Amino acid sequence: SSQPLDVLVFLSVFFPSTKGDEKRESRLINKEGVTSQCVTFNRHCSVLSPTFAKENKMASQSELKKRLKALMNKPENQVCSDCPERQPRWASLIVPPPGSPPGSLPIGAFCCLECSGSHRRLGVHISFVRSVNLDSWKEREVLAMENGGNKTVNMIFEARLNTQKPSAGASGQTRERFIRDKYERRKFFDPDALRQFHERGSGDDSDDENSSEEEKNCHSHTAL
């Protein structure tokens, strides 16, 4: 027989039925924080094993990480958003700046370890930092990364760039000053670029538009 769960929390939800049957869904949480689901129908309870619940969560993380990897494989995301460091493995979810429509998703950027520290010090009211490899991700966070990308972020926050970006070997102080100028003080920010981004819709589909335009031109030349 299976060992009883060491239950710390018991949550129960009652579902009335038009046929007079009773269905009750409960969640059991053990010391390790693993959730088991218990569905009671007409007083008969079936408990789904905690292993099953944990595997479902892992499968979900696997899918989310797969989407992140696809984003990281894009050429624009293979260099840090704030310096020339290659293969960034950290992500910054940038809070939508003033002028964004209500309910807008954060705009995600990939950054290197050194720059991620400066992003973290901006505070979560500006930037929320995650490790691509070490942290667990939520659907909304991955959507924020898909919503942005380094090309999009720099199009908005570096549209009026009038200074050199930090080099790969720049000091922490140099990085900090540039990143605060870019995201906190918004010295290089262009409201028109932000407006165009939201009018176009989330994500960067400019490449698709350019491809379509080139294809049209190709067809027109062929017709001639």
Residue 221 falls inside a structural domain: no
The per-residue pLDDT for 201 is: 75
Residue 55 falls inside a structural domain: no
Q: 29 and 113: one domain? A: no
Rounded distance between C-alpha atoms, residue 25 and residue 40, angstroms: 6
Q: Give me the CATH number covering residue 126.
A: 1.10.220.150
Distance of alpha carbon 222 from the chain centroid: 43
The per-residue pLDDT for 203 is: 55
pLDDT in tens, the chain (224 residues): 444 444 333 333 333 434 444 444 444 444 444 444 444 334 444 344 444 344 456 559 999 999 999 999 999 999 999 999 999 999 999 999 999 999 999 999 999 999 999 999 999 999 999 999 999 999 999 999 999 999 999 999 999 999 999 999 999 999 999 999 999 999 999 999 999 999 987 554 444 444 344 333 333 333 32
How many domains does the chain contain in total?
A: 2
Return the structure tokens found at 215. Answer: 């294809």
Q: Is the dihedral of CA 198, 199, 201, 205 positive or negative?
A: negative
- Could you list the residue range(s) of the whole structural domain that residue 22 is in? 9-50
Q: 119 and 190: one domain? A: yes
Q: 157 and 69: one domain? A: yes
Helix, strand, or coil here: 26? strand
Q: Which amino acid is at 200?
A: R
Which pTM value belongs to this model? 0.66
Closest residue by Cα to residue 65 from 162, 116, 139: 139
Distance of alpha carbon 56 from the chain centroid: 20
Return the structure tokens found at 181. Answer: 């100028």
Q: 134 and 35: one domain? A: no
Q: 68 and 159: one domain? A: yes
Structure confidence by residue, pLDDT tens digits, 52-100? 344 456 559 999 999 999 999 999 999 999 999 999 999 999 999 999 9
Rounded distance between C-alpha atoms, residue 161 and residue 100, angstroms: 21
**What strands lie across the sheet with 107-111, from one edge to the other?**
107-111, 90-94, 127-131
182: Cβ–Cβ under 8 A, 6 or more apart, which residues? 82, 157, 158, 188, 189
The per-residue pLDDT for 200 is: 86
Cβ proximity of 99 and 195 under 8 Å: yes
Q: 32 and 95: one domain? A: no
Q: What percent of the chain lies above the pLDDT cut of 90?
A: 62
Q: 13 and 42: one domain? A: yes
